[in-house]
């Protein structure tokens, strides 16, 4: 009997799990250099080691890259690997990032693209604004 694949985390190398842990501990997205600062005491000293670990984690879907911030976040949606569209809501005040998904949005993006005979491989939508806690009241 085979285990449920999605419930299991792929085996990570030492560097990969150090980088992944740094991202899961952080409440805000981290740049590669901020990650390096966090893992330096564990023996990772070269930016290249961080970039290599990040590449693999991105490939495995455990980590996402936020283009607009040039930073990385740990995936917070166990079902997102089944999706090609991911939406991030990024708070500009507290830097909190929520990972969202919506089937209708994905269908609409696909429809928009196919009207131009474009086949979508992946889409990342980054929303900038204020989270519930930071939203100005009134
Ligand atoms: Zn995700
Ligand atoms: Zn906020």
Identify the CATH number of the domain in which residue 104 sits: 3.30.1490.190
Q: What is the whole-number distance in angstroms between the Cα of residue 80 and the centre of ligand 1?
A: 5
| Sequential DSSP letters for 46-80 | -HHHHHHHHHHHHHHTSEEEETTTTEEEE---TTG
pLDDT tens, residue by residue, 18-31: 999 999 999 899 99
- 88, 126 Cβ separation under 8 angstroms: yes
**Distance of CA 132 from the midpoint of ligand 2 (Å):** 7
Q: Do 99 and 47 belong together in one domain?
A: no
pLDDT digits (tens, 9 = 90+) for 80-101: 877 789 999 999 999 999 999 8
What is the pLDDT, as a whole number, of residue 127? Answer: 96
Q: Rounded to the nearest 5°, which phi and psi values hold at 104?
A: -70, -40
Q: pTM of the full predicted structure?
A: 0.83
Say which residue the tokens 């564990």 belong to. Answer: 42
DSSP 30: B
pLDDT band of residue 48 (cuts 50, 70, 90) is: very high
Mean pLDDT of 32-56: 96
Residue 121 belongs to a domain: yes
**Average pLDDT in the 96-117 region?**
94
One domain, residues 22 and 68: yes
**Ligand 1 center from residue 64 Cα (angstroms):** 7
1 part of a folded domain: no
Q: Provide the strand spans (E) within the chain.
A: 63-66, 71-74, 85-91, 97-100, 123-129
Whether 134 maps to a domain, the answer reads no
Ligand 1 mean position to 61 CA, how many Å?
6
Look over the chain and give the mean of its residue pLDDT values, rounded to a whole number: 90
6, pLDDT greater than 80? no
Within a domain: 135: no
Lookup: tokens for 94: 């507290």
Q: Domain residues for 26?
A: 14-74
- What is residue 114's predicted lDDT score, i.e. its pLDDT? 96
């Amino acid at each position: 009997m085979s285990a449920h694949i999605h419930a299991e985390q792929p085996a990570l190398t030492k560097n990969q799990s150090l980088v992944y842990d740094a991202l899961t501990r952080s409440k805000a997205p981290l740049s590669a250099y901020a990650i390096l600062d966090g893992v330096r005491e564990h023996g990772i000293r070269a930016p290249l080691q961080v970039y290599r670990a990040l590449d693999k984690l991105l490939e495995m879907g455990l980590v996402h890259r936020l283009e607009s911030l040039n930073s990385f976040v740990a995936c917070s949606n166990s079902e997102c690997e089944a999706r090609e569209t991911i939406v991030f809501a990024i708070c500009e005040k507290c830097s909190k990032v929520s990972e969202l998904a919506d089937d209708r949005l994905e269908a609409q993006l696909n429809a928009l693209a196919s009207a131009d005979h474009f086949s979508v491989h992946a889409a990342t939508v980054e929303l900038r604004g204020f989270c519930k806690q930071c939203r100005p009241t009134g």
